[in-house]
């Protein structure tokens, strides 16, 4: 019985990887700790050496997600060529920045997260993400208010609303992706496109901008994301990079 000892950090990361895969496919509740350690080829003792509990594992997973998501966003925030509106748009339309395939995978991830048995997982990630995401948004909005681009008060409130819309867009997209037939898909695409336009206008008006200023995605991007996903359904297994 050889006892392989890897670099501890790697072990921890490996545990997270396998947990992520299992939680995303079967849900946090239904994937047992035994499943996780079996998949990772690790004993109970080893697991509890790295994590205090199953909950703690989930927490760590959420943190990792949030860290990765924030890293992708930071580039936009640091870009000196962008004005506040440009920054906000870039932030909302990350699917435009990234290659469509990558975006599709992110959507697919969200689709699995939104499955009801992943509620807990989704909520944790959401919480962790918004904790690091929100200050960035607030800062951008504050800048915009200062230089007169945005005409509103309460930057935190607006940031909240922006986040809500962002999540709601994910939500409705994910549900469409999760749902079944091609015919349904067509209807869902139309509805979603319409919904996104509404969110754009809503944000325009909340921020005191002329209609058409906020662009979550160019017309047709919903269809592009959707079909890209259908053509490569591997997605969920390799979302690691997000």
Partner DNA sequence: TATTATACCGACCGGTAGTCTATCCTCAAG
Partner DNA sequence: CTTGAGGATAGACTACCGGTCGGTATAATA
Interface positions with a second copy (CB under 8 A): 116, 119-120, 123, 152-154, 156-158, 160-161, 164, 168, 191, 194-195, 197-199, 201-202, 205-206
CA neighbor of 235 nearest in space, from 102, 126, 114, 100: 102
Q: How far is the CB of 119 from a second copy (least distance, A)?
A: 5
Which residues have a Cβ under 8 Å from the Cβ of 205 and sit 6 or more positions away?
A: 211
By CB under 7 A, residue 142 contacts DNA: no
And the tokens for 67? 């860290």
Restricted to residues 19-48, the positions that interact with DNA (CB under 7 A) are 31-35, 42-46, 48
Q: How far is the CB of 195 from a second copy (least distance, A)?
A: 5
By CB under 7 A, residue 1 contacts DNA: yes
187 binds, among a second copy, DNA, none (CB under 5 to 8 A by kind): none
What dihedral angle (degrees, nearest 10) is formed by the CA atoms of 137, 139, 143, 148? 50
Whole-Å CA distances, 217 to 15, 16, 67, 93: 36, 33, 24, 6
Asked if 156 contacts 90 with a C-beta cutoff of 8 angstroms, the reply is no
236 binds, among DNA, a second copy, none (CB under 5 to 8 A by kind): none
User: In the complex with a second copy, which residue's Cβ is closer, 87 or 124?
Assistant: 124
Asked if 224 contacts 1 with a C-beta cutoff of 8 angstroms, the reply is no
Q: How far is the CB of 10 from a second copy (least distance, A)?
A: 31
Restricted to residues 50-79, the positions that interact with DNA (CB under 7 A) are 50, 53-55
3 binds, among DNA, a second copy, none (CB under 5 to 8 A by kind): DNA
Which residues have a Cβ under 8 Å from the Cβ of 186 and sit 6 or more positions away?
A: none
User: In the complex with a second copy, which residue's Cβ is closer, 56 or 202?
Assistant: 202
By CB under 7 A, residue 116 contacts DNA: no
By CB under 7 A, residue 14 contacts DNA: no
Quick check: helix, strand or coil at residue 189? helix
User: In the complex with DNA, which residue's Cβ is closer, 5 or 234?
Assistant: 5
Length of the chain: 242
42 binds, among DNA, a second copy, none (CB under 5 to 8 A by kind): DNA
219 binds, among DNA, a second copy, none (CB under 5 to 8 A by kind): none
120 binds, among a second copy, DNA, none (CB under 5 to 8 A by kind): a second copy
Dump the DSSP string for 118-185: GHHHHHHHHHHHHHHHHHHHHHHHHHHHHTTS---S-HHHHHHHHHHHHHHHHHHHHHHHHS--HHHH
Which residues contact DNA (rule: CB under 7 A)?
Answer: 1-6, 8, 11, 31-35, 42-46, 48-50, 53-55
């Amino acid at each position: 019985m050889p006892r392989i000892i890897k670099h501890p950090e790697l072990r921890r990361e490996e545990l997270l990887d396998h947990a992520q895969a299992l939680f995303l496919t079967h849900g946090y509740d239904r994937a047992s700790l035994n499943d996780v350690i079996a998949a990772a080829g690790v004993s109970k003792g080893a697991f509890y050496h790295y994590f205090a509990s199953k909950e703690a594992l989930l927490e760590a997973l959420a943190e990792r997600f949030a860290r990765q998501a924030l890293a992708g966003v930071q580039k936009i925030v640091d870009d000196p060529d962008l004005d506040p509106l440009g920054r906000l748009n870039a932030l909302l339309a990350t699917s435009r920045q990234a290659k469509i395939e990558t975006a599709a995978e992110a959507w697919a991830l969200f689709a699995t997260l939104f499955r009801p048995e992943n509620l807990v997982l989704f909520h944790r990630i959401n919480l962790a993400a918004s904790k690091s995401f929100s200050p960035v948004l607030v800062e951008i909005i504050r800048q915009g208010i200062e230089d007169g681009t945005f005409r509103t008060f309460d930057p935190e409130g607006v940031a909240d609303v922006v986040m809500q819309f962002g999540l709601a867009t994910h939500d409705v997209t994910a549900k469409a992706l999760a749902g079944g037939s091609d015919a349904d898909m067509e209807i869902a695409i139309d509805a979603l496109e319409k919904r996104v336009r509404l969110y754009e206008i809503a944000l325009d008006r909340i921020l005191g901008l002329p209609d058409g200023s906020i662009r979550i995605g160019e017309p047709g991007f919903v269809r592009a994301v959707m079909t890209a996903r259908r053509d490569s359904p591997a997605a969920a297994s390799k979302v690691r990079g997000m």
